[in-house]
């Protein structure tokens, strides 16, 4: 599955992280 930066950020924020980005086509969240 493709990783979209905007979707990733939204998902991460919804889980309580400050943001997220795509690395190797996976969404990675960070504090």
pLDDT in tens, 1-31: 799 999 999 999 999 999 999 999 999 999 9
User: Residue 20's CB: how many other CB atoms inside 10 A?
Assistant: 20
Q: The whole model's pTM is what?
A: 0.76
HEC profile for 1-31? CCCCHHHHHHHHHHCCCCEEEEECCEEEEEC
For position 1, what pLDDT does the model report?
A: 74
The answer to whether 29 touches 15, Cβ cutoff 8 Å, is yes
């Amino acid at each position: 599955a493709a990783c979209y930066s905007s979707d990733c950020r939204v998902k991460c924020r919804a889980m309580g992280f400050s943001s997220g980005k795509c690395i190797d086509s996976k969404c990675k969240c960070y504090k």
